[in-house]
Amino acid sequence: MLYYDEYGSKENPTIMLLHGAGALDTFCRQYCFSDKYHLIVPHLAGAGKAATEIYEPEKTVEELFALIKTLHKKRIGVIGHSLGGQIAIMLVSKQPELFDFAVFLSAWVNPKPNTIRMYCSLAGLSAKMLHWRWLVQFQGKYWNYTKKQADNMAEYSKQITPQVYDSFFSNTLDLSKLPEYQAVTIPMLAICGSKEVRDMKTSLTLLAQNPNCQTMILQGANHDFPMRNAKQLNPMLEKFISECL
């Protein structure tokens, strides 16, 4: 069973927050939603208490379905960023009946072999840099983490190996190989930043091929907009969620 953090009352509607690769507190600026919702933050492979685990998409999806069953809710919402966004797409594509809505933030779904090879070739150096406590703490501060959150990231990041880092990219979701997505009828919202790479914007276009998925571009935002652009993002999320519940 996956370890998870929990915020807010269990009596409220539940939203599962799926963090980005190696960044457990991706949604630090959205934890404030706990005044209205019950938030569940699973520790996905490569972060938190699962920092040493290789990311395996199918295994992760099955573990999340098992976790959802333990919540004893008829349906829940799911919001995922980056790698977490890819996982959210897989979840709602395989068992849409479990969800009220889904939000995909910067979910990359059109991997190109050359791009994947480039990221994987940097796995050794990237993993080494994640072991530099001062650098990880600085990154956490830049992302508006609390000191406790930044210290926690610096601690678990020391356990991330090149193999774990490689798995984030070598297992990138290819939407063309997930035909079930096109049949999903629950309300969906996909967002990316205006300053993100072309492939991310192409991913937004691909997700929009399902007519039940709205798409939006957050002006002036980079890939880390859940942490850095919460003032713009949170009202958009609140409006969408309130319309779905």
Residue pair 57/87 in contact (Cβ under 8 Å)? The answer is: yes
Q: What is the pLDDT of residue 1?
A: 74
Q: Is the pLDDT score of 155 beyond 80? A: yes
Spatial separation of the C-alpha atoms in residues 168 and 22, rounded to whole Å: 9
Domains of the chain: residue spans and CATH:
4-111+172-244 (3.40.50.1820)
Q: What is the pLDDT of residue 136?
A: 97
Residue pair 153/24 in contact (Cβ under 8 Å)? The answer is: yes
User: How distant, in Å, are the alpha carbons of 97, 129, 168, 231 from that of 117?
Assistant: 36, 19, 12, 35
Average pLDDT, the chain: 97
Predicted confidence band at 16 (pLDDT cuts at 50, 70, 90)?
Answer: very high
pLDDT digits (tens, 9 = 90+) for 30-65: 999 999 999 999 999 999 999 999 999 999 999 999
Q: What is the pLDDT of residue 45?
A: 98
Kindly state the average pLDDT of the residues 122-133. Answer: 95
Kindly state the average pLDDT of the residues 1-8. Answer: 94
Spatial separation of the C-alpha atoms in residues 55 and 34, rounded to whole Å: 28
Q: What is the pLDDT of residue 223?
A: 97
Q: Is the dihedral of CA 41, 140, 57, 88 positive or negative?
A: positive
For residue 110, give the nearest of 44, 176, 37, 197 by alpha carbon: 176
Q: What is the pLDDT of residue 134?
A: 97
Q: Is the pLDDT score of 137 beyond 80? A: yes
Kindly state the average pLDDT of the residues 113-120. Answer: 93
